[in-house]
Amino acid sequence: MSANISIQAANITKRYGDKTALDDISFDIAKGELFGFIGPDGAGKTTLFRIITTLLKPGNGIMTVEGLDTVKDYIKLRKILGYMPGRFSLYQDLTVEENLKFFAGIFKTTPEANYELVKDIYSQIEPFKDRKAGKLSGGMKQKLALSCALIHKPEVLVLDEPTTGVDAVSRIEFWEMLGRLRRSGITIVVSTPYMDEASRCDRVALMQNGKIMSIDTPEAIRNNYGRDLFAVKTDDTYRLLSDLRQYKPTRTAFPFGEHIHVSLADESVKTAEIISYLEAAGHSNIHISKIEPSVEDCFMEMMSTESSTREK
């Protein structure tokens, strides 16, 4: 195994009864990488993270983290892992400071010993250090949970959906913190259902139904979309969607905010033809432009392809 690899999954499968949560998954994550697993609920992200963090045994396959086997070497491995589970991990009846001391104590260290690593994050909640964790706002709890997962200076940090249910502003702030943390050289693995967060990662794996559909840099994923994509807008978005779906050359049409993203089955069709079709359908203020696909466009494209292959 290359010395450069932090996490390696080889043919990991996990079943619960007749449900397959993870279906023959393999990947390598490099040391120091900020790596994202992106997919909806039920994709298998949490199961995968529990296997990485030694809390669950894989059914088949081998998972190693920093060269240690997650099944055989779990005791050694737990010392170098930091884990922030999706459900809340703090002790609600302990204060902010007590939580941090407790988690440091478990790993036989003190908050002071590794303060430098958590300073950027913890200093934001330090003014409330005597407040019970249960009384903190969502954003502050998240910062405390991250501080607690970091306080023993882990080599690998695993964050399971840290931004789920978090508002748009706090999400951006959280990713800014991860970006700064990344510079300390720690390997960071994050899962999220928000497709727009992909661009914050060095590489991402797009997951659906226990499988990885694609694994690459966000740029490469967008470049592999492989078709022309158009953003269309008129005064009546709802009618525009149904009119575009009825348009013969249309392959896919999905709403994206005030625009509809359209790909064509017949790529020889000119935008002028689309405009005259929409004018004939009575639309006004028609705007159409060729755009770069987002990771969300790519994800939907892969979902459609996967389900049509399965049906065959």
Q: Classify each residue of 161-191 as buried b or exposed e, where b means 16 or more C-beta atoms within 10 Å of its C-beta.
A: bbbeebeeebbeebbebbeebbeeebbbbbb
Structure tokens at 160: 């399971």
Give me the least distance between CB of 309 and other proteins, in Å please.
Answer: 16
Exactly one of 164, 246, 276, 305 binds other proteins (CB under 8 A); which one?
164
* Residue in the block written with tokens 């088949």: 60
* Residue 257 touching other proteins (CB under 8 A): yes
Give me the least distance between CB of 12 and other proteins, in Å please.
Answer: 22
Q: Identify which of residues 277 and 299 has a Cβ nearer to other proteins in the complex.
A: 299
In 17-150 the beta strands, taken as DSSP E runs, fall at 19-30, 34-38, 60-65, 68-69, 81-84
Give me the least distance between CB of 139 and other proteins, in Å please.
Answer: 6
Give me the least distance between CB of 240 and other proteins, in Å please.
Answer: 12
Q: Identify which of residues 18 and 130 has a Cβ nearer to other proteins in the complex.
A: 18
Q: Identify which of residues 281 and 300 has a Cβ nearer to other proteins in the complex.
A: 300
Contact status, residue 4 vs residue 67, Cβ threshold 8 Å: no
* Residue 134 touching other proteins (CB under 8 A): no
∠ CA 272-254-25 to the nearest 5 degrees?
130
Candidates 150, 61, 142; CA nearest to 114 is 150
What is the C-alpha separation between 121 and 144, in angstroms, rounded? Answer: 8
Q: Identify which of residues 43 and 288 has a Cβ nearer to other proteins in the complex.
A: 43
Footprint (CB under 8 A) of other proteins, residues 54-73 = none
What is the C-alpha separation between 155 and 151, in angstroms, rounded? Answer: 11
* Residue 300 touching other proteins (CB under 8 A): yes
Give me the least distance between CB of 18 and other proteins, in Å please.
Answer: 10
Amino acid at 67: G
* Residue 256 touching other proteins (CB under 8 A): yes
Burial of 3 from C-beta contacts in 10 A (0-12 / 13-18 / 19+)? exposed
Exactly one of 1, 238, 280, 309 binds other proteins (CB under 8 A); which one?
238
* Residue 32 touching other proteins (CB under 8 A): no
* Residue 41 touching other proteins (CB under 8 A): yes
Q: Classify each residue of 270-301 as buried b or exposed e, where b means 16 or more C-beta atoms within 10 Å of its C-beta.
A: eeeebbebbeebebeebebeeeebbbbbbbbb
Q: Identify which of residues 117 and 125 has a Cβ nearer to other proteins in the complex.
A: 125
Total residues at interface with other proteins (CB under 8 A)? 33
Q: Identify which of residues 117 and 213 has a Cβ nearer to other proteins in the complex.
A: 213
Contact status, residue 14 vs residue 63, Cβ threshold 8 Å: no
Which parts of this chain interact with other proteins (CB under 8 A)?
A: 39-42, 137-139, 164-172, 193-195, 208, 237-238, 241, 254-258, 296, 299-300, 303-304
